[in-house]
Structure 1
Amino acid sequence: MAAFMEVLDTTIVNVALPHIAGALGCSYDDATWALTSYLVANGIVLTISGWLSRTFGRKRYFMICISMFTLTSFCCGLSQSLGMLVIFRLLQGFFGGGLQPCQQSIILDIFPPDKRGAAFGLSAIATIVGPVLGPLLGGWLTDNYSWHWVFFVNVPFGIITTALVAGILEDPPWEKARKSRIDVIGISLISLGLGCVEIMADRGEDDDWFSSGFIITMALIGFSCTIAAIIWLLKSKNPLLRLSVLKDRNFAVGTVLVGAMGMILYAGAVIVPQFAQQVQGYTATLAGMLLAPGGVVIICLIPFVGKLMGKVELRYIIAFGFMFMATSLFYSSQLYTGTSFGWLVKCRLLQSAPLAFLFVPISTLAFMTLPDELNADGSALFAMVRNYLGSQAISYSGAGLTEARQLHQDQLGTATAPWRVAMRQYIQDVDKVAQWHGFAPLRAKSYAVAHMYQDFQVQVSMLAYNEVFQILGMLALSVVPLCFLASPGPRSGGPAKGGH
């Protein structure tokens, strides 16, 4: 429940952004800060959640995160200005960032190795289905109530989860609170590095990338602080995040794979409803409905994949998942002007199904040989890479769509020149239809030109979305060879940690 709330909030706001912009009196671009601020804070705290868990004790830190996430969700719903909303979304992302690594390390400590695959399967339903169902729930709440309810919906779940954790969960001895000094330098470098890189990615297209002094500044600060943070964490005696987890080959490979999966997962969850609303003219609810069947497919496939993990090497399952994903994305890159709702649902089903072959096997592979004392640090880094690269993919997919539109608009511009016979014939035909419907001749001519321009923009958008799907497909295909860098996973009844 805790993981589901947190992951849900990464996408539930997407379809409500036009309504938020209208209600708070700001532009759509400014309203996207409601999404970006959450992702920035989330990515930063994920890197230090292991240290916070050791400092406060895992159970206490987990309860603090759940209760404060619930409170800040309520405050987001009460916001009356964009500034208030951004501040509370920052706080919501900060406290929400600790939920995923905590619940993952709890699974690793509580369940024996032969049961971890099943436990990861249950948690995967929340982690994967959350971003899928977010736009559906957000669209329905926005259309039927108001955008405020995309935040209020967390409150009852948060209260129930806090009570259950308080009454049931107990920390193992190595997760009890223990004194440790505050690593001010490490926290500062990580916060500045990840925060500035995310801001650069999110605002780069609007500010014309490196033509803007602001973007150059964000890039310099972001990358220099990130490199400095890595050096500091490697040399510090008591680092807030032990990068030694990456010495484990399976964990290192699994982290790269889950980062690629996160990029595809979050980018797809944003692109599909965006296409439905901006190009097809769907309502927020109908746009969200495109993603719901995909969530159902994942839930149905995860038990099958759990059984398959006992018979087939994890590397082959993961490689198949990425191959399946690449094929589905290439198939989805065939959008055309007559694209139907049913075809879009089928595309999203094909995009969602491979996730069942990726999340649980990748999680199991990553923690298969990692020592118990590194579970908290591994969980924090694993979740951070997935979410942070996912947030980067959201920003760059939006920028990629804008760039692709401009490119295809220039390329197709000559095809719409008025001296072309086909264009003159098109305008004449529309003109005649408009006059037949009662338009005055001058108005009919203007309508015909406007109709031609609208069709032109739709064609440009179709090509842009197709191109982004192709890029995501190539990303999925490129990581297939990386699957075989990991050591072979255990088969049924295998003794290795984290496997089935």
Structure 2
Amino acid sequence: MSDPRGWTPRANPWLVAVVVTLGAFMEVLDTTIVNVALPHIAGSLSVSNDDATWSLTTYLVANGIVLTISGALSRRFGRKRYFLISIGGFTAMSLACGLSTNFGELLLFRAAQGFFGGGLQPTQQALLLDYFPPAKRQQAFSIAAVAIIVAPAVGPVLGGYLTDTYSWHWIFLINVPLGVITLFAVVALVEDSPMAKKDKATAPAIDYVGIGFIVIALGCLEIAFDRAENFDWLNSTFIRVMMALSSVAFAFGIPYLLYRRHPIVNLRAFKDRNFAIAWFQIALMGFVLYASAVLVPQYAQQQAGYNATLAGLLLAPGAVLLIILIPIVSKVMNFVPVKYVIAFGGVALSSALFFSMNLVPGLDFFHLCLYRAGQSGGLAFLFVPISTIAYATLPRELNNDAAALFSMARNVVGGFGISISTSWVTDHQQTRQAHLIDHLSPGNQPYDVLLQQVQQGLINLGDSTQQAMQAAPGQIYQMLQTQSAVLAYTDVFLLTGCAALLFIPTALMLSSAKPKASGGGH
């Protein structure tokens, strides 16, 4: 595949796309693979469940910061070298995490793993922009989409299986052989394009002040959202301080980055209308993707009594559907304007989330799989079109920074999606229970009828009348808790479905301009 200005890569671009996407897949996988193993980590390392979640928080904080500045680091070191540093460091830290013998070691290595992993996704996208001309990018992003969208679904499945079958250590150790293979493949196949070499030769000095603003703004914000539920949100002084520090850093950091001549990340990419809208859409997709991905397995484990492996398997059919649909979506984009494909994806995703509100107590495995598969089907119509339009009219020199901002939006807001959706479930369950319990009082006819039915059922099972009368209120209270939980999940599906509707108006705001022949990273 030749560059318009004469560059022909030595290796097949499609093979390069698979190799660099494998690295990104590993990194995205690690944002969700740990979730199901947290109770096992807590027990093994003698810490509380609350403390164990810091192993996820430290990763997300370091990852979100590096995602944002990865464009500058990629320019400074060269794309290939920076990708090699990232995949090598990520693999080494995965090994260190798997061999950790105490919680302090695990936190340190998880932070380092997030630091190195943060460079993989943006550099992968920048390399795809280098290797593929605008006309071929939608197919290239189809390969990337399999990793970015499927990995969050595969994470709980794989994490649950490894934890249940072996131990939590293997959720990290499994990265090692894949990382080594990817490392050698990148050495053999990937090369910097002439323009990437020019970027490296002309890269300005590192903007340490800008890095400081980003560390405080994103780090404090990530900690606040990830820990908010445990600390009771804004009722906690700690959360208020984190939010205040983040707000101040954003307030001063954004003007600084906009007016500095060579900032650590160039926010002028947002001047491009298509990129600005696509950035919002990929952030929204990250929120809905991660929020919805956690809801079904969480419901299955907490309400249906599934183990980690079975709960993770609920996501598998949706992942298969994604793999089938993404190439089809890429073909559809050849004759349907991207804006309409995204709008259709918004309709499909919101409809699937609204359909998931049919959740009832005791729902079987098939229907839970069906709900998640419908949600995954909607997501298939979003990632490739959004990724394609984001860079369609963007000046080539902004691709590095744009790829960093784009990946940051998806991952950081996706992390918020996990925290917020979990918090919504807890809050709505309490609200629903408070509302329902008003109807459970003697003298309320439906309650009296239900009480008699439960008592009779217990008598039919062999209890005495006295035993049945004593046990029946407890049975009803358990039914109340189950019903409150189900209603809470339906509420959250409603809220995420409403959020998904935002894809429709924002898609219609996109320009219909075709990608520039001279654009991109060539």
Do the two structures share a fold, i.e. TM-score over 0.5? yes
Q: Over residues 9-41 of structure 1, what are the superposed CA-to-partner deviations in whole Å (9 max), with x where a residue is unaligned?
A: 111112222222222233333322222222221
Match of 1:246 among 270, 287, 291: 270
Structure 2 counterparts to residues 56-205 of structure 1, below 5 A: 56-176=77-197, 177-178=200-201, 180-205=204-229
CA contact (8 A) 1:490 1:496 kept: no
Give, in angstroms, the shift of residue 65 of structure 1: 0.5
Corresponding residue number in structure 2 for 1:255 = 279
Corresponding residue number in structure 2 for 1:54 = 75
Corresponding residue number in structure 2 for 1:300 = 324
Give, in angstroms, the shift of residue 325 of structure 1: 0.5
Partners of 2:250 and 2:436 in 1: how far apart? 41
CA contact (8 A) 1:313 1:489 kept: no
Match of 1:13 among 13, 17, 34: 34
Amino acid at match of 1:86: L
Change (3 A) 1:442 1:57: farther
Give, in angstroms, the shift of residue 70 of structure 1: 0.7
Q: Secondary structure at the match of 1:281?
A: coil
Corresponding residue number in structure 2 for 1:317 = 341
Change (3 A) 1:420 1:24: farther
Partners of 1:440 and 1:88 in 2: how far apart? 59
Give 5+ residue unaligned stretches, structure 1. none
Q: Secondary structure at the match of 2:161?
A: helix
Structure 2 counterparts to residues 343-358 of structure 1, below 5 A: 343-358=367-382
Corresponding residue number in structure 2 for 1:409 = 433
CA contact (8 A) 2:393 2:513 kept: no
Partners of 1:148 and 1:124 in 2: how far apart? 28
Change (3 A) 1:220 1:112: same
CA contact (8 A) 1:53 1:175 kept: no
TM-score by length of 1: 0.95
Change (3 A) 1:308 1:219: same
Change (3 A) 1:30 1:169: same
Partners of 1:249 and 1:4 in 2: how far apart? 29
CA contact (8 A) 1:313 1:490 kept: no
Determine whether 1:468 maps to 2:492.
yes
Amino acid at match of 2:75: R
Q: Secondary structure at the match of 1:333?
A: helix
Q: Over residues 454-496 of structure 1, what are the superposed CA-to-partner deviations in whole Å (9 max), with x where a residue is unaligned?
A: 21111111111111111111111123111122110439xx958
Match of 1:277 among 301, 320, 324: 301
Give, in angstroms, the shift of residue 426 of structure 1: 3.5
Match of 1:232 among 242, 256, 274: 256
Partners of 2:253 and 2:188 in 1: how far apart? 38
Amino acid at match of 1:318: I
Give, in angstroms, the shift of residue 281 of structure 1: 0.8
Partners of 2:476 and 2:168 in 1: how far apart? 35
Partners of 2:313 and 2:179 in 1: how far apart? 25
Change (3 A) 1:71 1:439: farther
Amino acid at match of 2:50: D
Partners of 2:182 and 2:466 in 1: how far apart? 65
Q: Over residues 343-401 of structure 1, what are the superposed CA-to-partner deviations in whole Å (9 max), with x where a residue is unaligned?
A: 11111110001111110111000011112221111100000011111111111111111
Partners of 1:167 and 1:329 in 2: how far apart? 44
Partners of 1:374 and 1:317 in 2: how far apart? 25
Amino acid at match of 2:487: L
CA contact (8 A) 1:131 1:266 kept: yes
Amino acid at match of 2:315: L
Partners of 1:73 and 1:445 in 2: how far apart? 56
Determine whether 1:369 maps to 2:393.
yes
CA RMSD, 1 decimal: 1.9
Give, in angstroms, the shift of residue 269 of structure 1: 1.2
After TM superposition, the structure 1 stretch with the greater mean CA deviation from structure 2, 234-243 or 432-441, is 432-441
Amino acid at match of 1:343: H
Percentage of identical aligned residues: 50
Determine whether 1:28 maps to 2:52.
no
CA contact (8 A) 1:77 1:148 kept: yes
After TM superposition, the structure 1 stretch with the greater mean CA deviation from structure 2, 313-322 or 195-204, is 195-204
Deviating 4+ runs (over 6 angstroms): none
After TM superposition, the structure 1 stretch with the greater mean CA deviation from structure 2, 308-317 or 191-200, is 191-200
Partners of 2:105 and 2:469 in 1: how far apart? 48
Corresponding residue number in structure 2 for 1:360 = 384
Give, in angstroms, the shift of residue 299 of structure 1: 0.7
Q: Over residues 432-470 of structure 1, what are the superposed CA-to-partner deviations in whole Å (9 max), with x where a residue is unaligned?
A: 544554557666555433322221111111111111111
Amino acid at match of 1:393: G
Give, in angstroms, the shift of residue 43 of structure 1: 1.0
Give, in angstroms, the shift of residue 151 of structure 1: 1.0
After TM superposition, the structure 1 stretch with the greater mean CA deviation from structure 2, 208-217 or 100-109, is 208-217
Give, in angstroms, the shift of residue 92 of structure 1: 1.1
Corresponding residue number in structure 1 for 2:244 = 220
Structure 2 counterparts to residues 203-214 of structure 1, below 5 A: 203-214=227-238
CA contact (8 A) 2:93 2:113 kept: yes
Q: Secondary structure at the match of 1:73?
A: helix
Q: Secondary structure at the match of 1:416?
A: coil
Partners of 1:184 and 1:114 in 2: how far apart? 37
Match of 1:478 among 463, 488, 502: 502
Partners of 1:246 and 1:12 in 2: how far apart? 33
After TM superposition, the structure 1 stretch with the greater mean CA deviation from structure 2, 420-429 or 131-140, is 420-429
Corresponding residue number in structure 2 for 1:328 = 352
Q: Over residues 134-184 of structure 1, what are the superposed CA-to-partner deviations in whole Å (9 max), with x where a residue is unaligned?
A: 111111111111111111111110000000101111112332344642322
CA contact (8 A) 1:141 1:149 kept: yes
Amino acid at match of 1:112: P
CA contact (8 A) 1:328 1:351 kept: yes
Aligned length: 496
Corresponding residue number in structure 1 for 2:5 = none
Structure 2 counterparts to residues 450-461 of structure 1, below 5 A: 450-461=474-485
